[in-house]
Amino acid sequence: MSNKPHILLLAPIFPPFKGAVASRLHSLANYWSEFTRVTVISPYEGFPDQPYDLINFPLTRYRWEFLRILYLLPRLLRLARGLKPDVVVASIPPAWPLVEGHLLARRLGCEFILDVRDLPTADVRRTKTSLFRGILHALMIFISRHFGRKASRIVTVTDWFRKELIRFLDYPPSRVFVIRNGSETELFEKALSVKKEFDIVYSGTLIHVRNPAGILRYLRFLADLYPSLRVLFLSDLDNPIGREFLAGIGRLGLGKNVFIEATRPPEELPGLLGRARLGLNALMPEHPAYRGAIGAKVYEYLAAGLPIVGLLDPDFYIEARRLIADNDVGIIDPDPEKLAEETVKLLKDNWRLSLMSKRARALGERFDRRKQAKDYFHNVIVPAWEESRG
């Protein structure tokens, strides 16, 4: 019997797919491989020459694909039996990897660890659009609660999420752990030496919860107060929300202030973020599913030494307040006009901006992904595996 657990990671979203989910799961697999054998099962081909084993298999990726589980699960089970894992790890949402992970672990007689990035209620806005989505959402809530209680351990990304999961699942607090999102801080060090060309950068997907209408108002006020304003958006905007946002830029006369570039591979991001002096984060007013969320972009901004301007309510988004305001690495205000005024003050105060940048980088280094993965392995995976062995 091996003295280290073989980890099987179910990764329905994985590189080269771009985004926070793929980046988090890849980092975990990569750094866990420094301690033990890791096998990733994913529909995506991953990066070449990685230390983990990767097997392509059409896992259930999206909310509406749940019927695929019925005919894919027997094939997945046959595949997993040959791998003989000691621990199965699956990340949600959506809920379907939870079903696959639990049933695999149960059939194989090994431990199941559930990684929760967002609460199952995170899709609540979409339920209002149709009866089908409402039924699907209710089904996901039921599945998340029923199967989530069966996990050996649960890992989530903020203290607020931990508290809510304990309540939502009626789950033992001693088995729920916080392993925060983070960034490759060594990679982002190169951002510190890049020439500044922009005042603000926004990086990542522009979705409804990111309050695109509020961002437009903020940029309009900011451009009025600071005519030389240059803002870089690193986002793929070829979608309904993105096209509406681009139309708003034209309508408000911000074309000379806002520059758009497509999302780039992770290795290029530090050099791009480093071109700006501040990083922009925004959230809709009082969106309950995101109250305890800290987006991956925030940790990347910090690692790049970018103070954060947050268009959000610090009294509601308590985790954002704790990270940004309480550590004095940025400014937060839910009012676009007031935030614009505070942003201009910061941009014009080079001493304060430099000091805040140094604090941001130091804080970002506390959330290095290698360290996060190490804590995950030693404090969650190994104890679960050792407990299963008696």
**40, two tokens:** 């990733």
Question: What's the pLDDT score for residue 19?
Answer: 79
Q: Are both 201 and 140 inside the same structural domain? A: no
Residue 329 lies in a domain: yes
Q: What is the pLDDT of residues 251-275, one digit of tens each?
A: 999 999 999 999 888 889 999 999 9
Region class of 126: left (phi > 0), else alpha (psi between -120 and 50), else beta: alpha
Nearest to 381 by CA among 101, 3, 113: 113
Q: Is residue 348 part of a domain?
A: yes
Q: Is residue 1 part of a domain?
A: no
Q: Which residue in 371, 211, 360 sits closest to 300, CA to CA?
A: 360
One domain, residues 124 and 232: no
Instruction: Say which CATH number the domain at 189 has.
Output: 3.40.50.2000
Q: Does a structural domain hold residue 306? A: yes
Q: Which of 42-51, 194-203, 214-223, 370-379 has the lowest mean pLDDT?
A: 42-51
On whether residue 121 sits in a domain, the answer given is yes
DSSP state of 195: P
Show the tokens assigned to 164: 């809510």
Residue 93, domain member (yes or no): yes
Q: Are residues 104 and 248 in the same domain?
A: no
Task: Find tokens 């290795």 and name the residue.
Answer: 267
Query: In the structure, what pLDDT confidence band is assigned to residue 337 with cuts at 50, 70 and 90?
Result: very high
Whether 206 and 281 map to the same domain: the answer is yes
269 with 232: CB under 8 angstroms? no
Q: Specify the residue for token string 């420094």.
A: 34
167 contacts 198 by C-beta, under 8 angstroms: no
- Residues 159, 289 within the same domain: no
Residues 85 and 17 reside in one and the same domain = yes
Cis ω for the linkage preceding 93 (within 30 of 0): yes
How far apart CA 86 and CA 76 sit, in angstroms, is: 16
What's the CA gap between 263 and 240, in Å, rounded?
17
Dist CA 79 CA 38 (whole Å): 15
Asked if 192 and 203 sit in the same domain, the reply is yes
Task: Indicate whether 88 and 200 sit together in one domain.
Answer: no
* pLDDT tens readout for residues 181-193: 999 999 999 999 9
In a domain, 78, yes or no: yes
Question: How many percent of the chain have pLDDT more than 70?
Answer: 95
What's the total number of domains in the chain? 2
Per residue in 119-176, pLDDT (tens digit) is 766 554 444 557 777 777 787 788 888 899 999 999 999 999 999 999 999 999 999 9
What are the phi and psi torsion angles at 243 (to 5°)?
Answer: -65, -35
| CB of 104 closer than 8 Å to CB of 152 | no
Question: Do 177 and 206 belong together in one domain?
Answer: no
Task: Provide the residue range defining the domain that includes 92.
Answer: 7-182+368-388
Say if residue 289 is in the same domain as residue 309: yes
Query: Is residue 264 a part of any domain in this protein?
Result: yes
